[in-house]
């Protein structure tokens, strides 16, 4: 069993940088020539001159709120794709809404390398509990696993008892899903009297892998690693067995910038993750993810030579991932507008039993249980996740501008 996916895992930093930036100029030129959104945004830029980190840093950062605005004006992709919708294998819609295309190819989101680093190999049976509906999460990892030679059971989300039944029947060695859902399945299996022992490795994404949860999985015989991925880009960075930061994936240029600006920060300083991809049909040039991290110095002890980030360190905005789905302040605002008689609203995200808990606190002059039920339905409608509702007195919520408050402890 080889430790590395291919020779690029261990290529020198100089060779990797030279390869990336030798291709970047052509990518920017192609984007300007074939996508009206990029032509307008990069007016006056000679794409062929963008061949260094310094030249790239001179370009503006495209952040998700602006992408959503451009997509609404010019659906579905805001003018940032170089081909029409028919040129993609699949088209997805994430909360926002944000439209995301799946480029053609065997492993369009670069997940196979990530899975290999997590110990997955050809012939493995894997249980994929990421969402396959509307959003691309399930397909991102699914296609990488298939490209690696694994057999994938596309479980999707929900219906935990059926997930237990499928695992007991197929005896998968690997699990793919959000960090806390594997625990839900394992716990349900014990409750049903059908404990699962076949799963020995997992790759998780869509939320933070808390140290206490990783330790619990280890006690249950499951080695869990994580990948930082987004629906727009795919697998951006990933853990290896060294467990020292996340290694930036190949074919990606990653920068850390001061939030709200175009300014690149020195290694070690915490800022927003900005990613540039080299995909021909849907290039993203200095795309601001809204996620925070810091660049690490040196190389991973595992032998992989790619640059590293410290991992997910919060959001540059209030957008918060809960149970694998982003909850956006705009969604909370939609709920507020649907219930004009309420005062302030505030989503609070906490943890209980290693699971995310979403609570909507709503200022009201009543304790009507019917109103609570309607608000819980509104959470599902607008945020696509379940949550509970707590009615609080008018004027009792903080006047700090927060619609979403993430109160999880990421160090525990």
DSSP 240-283: -TT-SSEEEPTTEEEEEE-TTSSPBPPTT--EEEEEEE--SSS-
Alpha helical stretches, state H, 87-159: 112-117, 137-148
pLDDT for the residue numbered 261: 86
| 333: preceding bond cis by omega (within 30 degrees) | no
Among 285, 307, 365, 390, smallest CA distance to 27 is for 285
Distance CA 170, CA 93 (A): 31
% pLDDT > 90, the chain: 81
Distance CA 214, CA 219 (A): 9
Which band of pLDDT confidence, cut at 50, 70 and 90, is reported for residue 401? low
Which band of pLDDT confidence, cut at 50, 70 and 90, is reported for residue 219? very high
Average pLDDT, the chain: 94
End-to-end CA distance of the chain: 34
Residue 286 has pLDDT above 60, yes or no: yes
Which band of pLDDT confidence, cut at 50, 70 and 90, is reported for residue 2? low
48: Cβ–Cβ under 8 A, 6 or more apart, which residues?
25, 26, 28, 29
pLDDT tens digits for 128-141? Answer: 999 999 999 999 99
Task: Map residue 404 onto helix, strand or coil.
Answer: strand
Residue 201 has pLDDT above 90, yes or no: yes
Residue 23 has pLDDT above 60, yes or no: yes
pLDDT for the residue numbered 363: 94
* Greatest CA separation for the chain: 66
pLDDT for the residue numbered 1: 38
Residue 35 has pLDDT above 70, yes or no: yes
Under 8 Å between Cβ of 292 and 314? yes
Which band of pLDDT confidence, cut at 50, 70 and 90, is reported for residue 323? confident
pLDDT for the residue numbered 384: 87
Among 357, 324, 279, smallest CA distance to 94 is for 324
Token code pair at residue 52: 């260094």
Task: Map residue 200 onto helix, strand or coil.
Answer: coil
Residue 320 has pLDDT above 90, yes or no: no
pLDDT tens digits for 143-182? Answer: 999 999 999 999 999 999 999 999 999 999 999 999 999 9
Under 8 Å between Cβ of 38 and 79? yes
Length of the chain: 412
Q: What is the mean pLDDT of residues 347-356?
A: 88
Residue 349: strand pairing partners: 358, 406
Q: What is the mean pLDDT of residues 203-213?
A: 91
Which band of pLDDT confidence, cut at 50, 70 and 90, is reported for residue 412? low
Under 8 Å between Cβ of 231 and 98? yes
Under 8 Å between Cβ of 292 and 271? yes
pLDDT for the residue numbered 408: 87
Residue 319 has pLDDT above 80, yes or no: no
pLDDT tens digits for 230-283? Answer: 999 999 999 999 999 999 999 999 999 998 889 999 999 999 999 999 999 999
Under 8 Å between Cβ of 223 and 192? no
Task: Give the CA angle between residues 393, 399, 405 to the nearest 5°.
Answer: 90
Query: What is the chain's alpha carbon radius of gyration, rounded to the nearest angstrom?
Result: 22
pLDDT for the residue numbered 326: 81
pLDDT tens digits for 83-125? Answer: 999 999 999 999 889 999 999 999 999 999 999 999 999 999 9
DSSP category for residue 266:
P
pTM of the full structure: 0.82
Dihedral pair phi/psi, residue 351, rounded to 5°: -125, 145
Distance CA 81, CA 102 (A): 11
Under 8 Å between Cβ of 150 and 115? yes
Among 32, 34, 35, smallest CA distance to 49 is for 32
Residue 46 has pLDDT above 90, yes or no: yes
pLDDT for the residue numbered 311: 87
DSSP category for residue 8:
G
Q: What is the mean pLDDT of residues 322-339?
A: 86
pLDDT for the residue numbered 163: 97
% pLDDT > 70, the chain: 99
pLDDT for the residue numbered 409: 81
pLDDT for the residue numbered 260: 82
Among 89, 31, 29, smallest CA distance to 282 is for 31
Token code pair at residue 269: 């300083």
């Amino acid at each position: 069993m080889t430790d590395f996916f291919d020779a690029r895992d261990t290529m020198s930093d100089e060779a990797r940088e030279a390869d990336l930036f030798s291709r970047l100029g052509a990518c920017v030129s192609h984007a300007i020539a074939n996508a009206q959104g990029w032509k307008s945004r990069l007016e006056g830029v000679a794409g062929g001159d963008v061949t260094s980190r310094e030249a790239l840093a001179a370009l503006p950062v495209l952040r998700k709120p602006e992408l959503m605005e451009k997509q609404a004006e010019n659906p579905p992709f805001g003018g940032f794709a170089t081909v029409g919708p028919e040129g993609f294998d699949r088209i997805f819609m994430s909360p926002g809404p944000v439209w995301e295309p799946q480029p053609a190819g065997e492993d369009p989101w670069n997940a196979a390398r990530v899975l290999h680093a997590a110990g997955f190999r050809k012939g493995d049976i894997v249980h994929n509990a990421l969402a396959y509906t509307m959003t691309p999460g399930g397909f991102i990892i699914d296609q990488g696993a298939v490209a690696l030679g694994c057999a994938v059971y596309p479980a999707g989300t929900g219906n935990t008892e059926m997930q237990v039944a499928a695992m007991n029947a197929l005896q998968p060695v690997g699990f793919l899903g959000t960090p806390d859902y594997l625990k839900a399945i394992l716990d349900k299996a014990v409750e049903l009297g059908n404990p699962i022992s076949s799963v020995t490795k997992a790759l998780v994404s869509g939320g933070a892998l808390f140290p206490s949860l990783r330790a619990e999985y280890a006690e249950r015989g499951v080695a869990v690693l994580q990948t930082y991925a987004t629906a727009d880009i795919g697998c951006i960075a990933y853990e290896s067995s060294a467990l020292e930061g996340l290694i930036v994936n190949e074919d990606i240029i990653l920068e850390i910038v001061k939030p709200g600006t175009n300014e690149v920060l020195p290694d070690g300083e915490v800022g927003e993750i900005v990613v540039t991809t080299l995909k021909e049909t849907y290039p993203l040039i200095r795309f601001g993810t809204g996620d925070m991290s810091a660049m690490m110095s040196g190389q991973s002890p595992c032998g992989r030579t790619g640059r590293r980030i410290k991992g997910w360190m919060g959001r540059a905005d209030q957008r918060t991932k809960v149970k694998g789905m982003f909850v956006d302040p705009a969604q909370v605002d939609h709920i507020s507008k649907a219930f004009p008689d309420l005062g302030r609203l505030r989503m609070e995200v906490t943890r209980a039993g290693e699971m995310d808990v979403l609570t909507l606190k709503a200022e009201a002059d009543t304790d009507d249980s019917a109103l609570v039920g309607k608000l819980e339905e509104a959470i599902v409608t607008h945020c696509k996740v379940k949550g509970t509702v707590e009615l609080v007195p008018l004027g009792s919520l903080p006047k700090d501008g927060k619609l979403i408050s993430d109160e999880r402890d990421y160090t525990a």
